Amino acid sequence: MIQLALKAAISGVLIAAASTLAKRYPGFGALVASLPLVSVLGMVWLWSEKPDTANMAAHASATFWYVLPSLPMFLLIPALLHRGIGFWPALLAGCVLTIALYAVLTWAGPRFGLTL
C-alpha cells in the first residue's frame, strides 16, 4: 500500500509541476507535459515489480502504438478553440476522437500483426 501511495505521489507531483509551469510559461509547460514521464515511470514501476525483459519490450512497443492515436487530439483541440468553440466542448471532442482512434487501432492493429 505504501508503494502505491508513493507512486501516486510522485506521479501527481509531476502533473502538478507541468500545469504550474504552463500557467506562466505555456511552451515550457507543454514541453514538460509532452515528456513521456508517465510512460517512463510506468516502465520503472513495472520493472521494479516484474523485471521481465519480454514483458517490458511488449509494454514499450504497445505504448508506442497507443501514443499515435492520441496525437490528433492535440491538433483538434487548438483548431476548435481558434474557431470559437469553448474549452470543454473542444476537450470533449478531442477525447472522443482519441477514443475512436484507440478503438480503430485495437481493432485494426492485430490484423496488421501488431501485438497490443
46 and 64, same structural domain? no
Q: So what's the pLDDT on residue 30?
A: 85
For residue 85, how far is the Cα from the chain centroid?
A: 24
Of the ranges 2-11, 57-66, 83-92, 105-114, which one carries the lowest mean pLDDT score? 2-11
Give residue-wise pLDDT tens across range 22-44: 999 999 888 888 888 878 888 99
Q: What is the pLDDT of residue 14?
A: 82
Most confident of 16-20, 63-67, 79-83: 79-83
pLDDT band at 105 (very low <50, low <70, confident <90, very high): very high
Cell 474549452 belongs to 87
Q: How far is CA 115 from CA 49, 61, 87, 110, in A?
A: 22, 8, 35, 6
Average pLDDT score over the chain: 92
**From the CB of residue 5, how many other CB atoms can be counted at a distance below 10 Å?**
9
Tally of structural domains, the chain: 2
> Which of 51, 66, 87 corresponds to the end of one domain?
51
Are the CB atoms for 69 and 104 separated by under 8 Å?
yes
Give CA–CA dist 91/73, Å, rounded: 8
Full domain range(s) for residue 20: 1-51
Same-domain status, 64 and 114:
yes
Residue 101 has pLDDT above 90, yes or no: yes
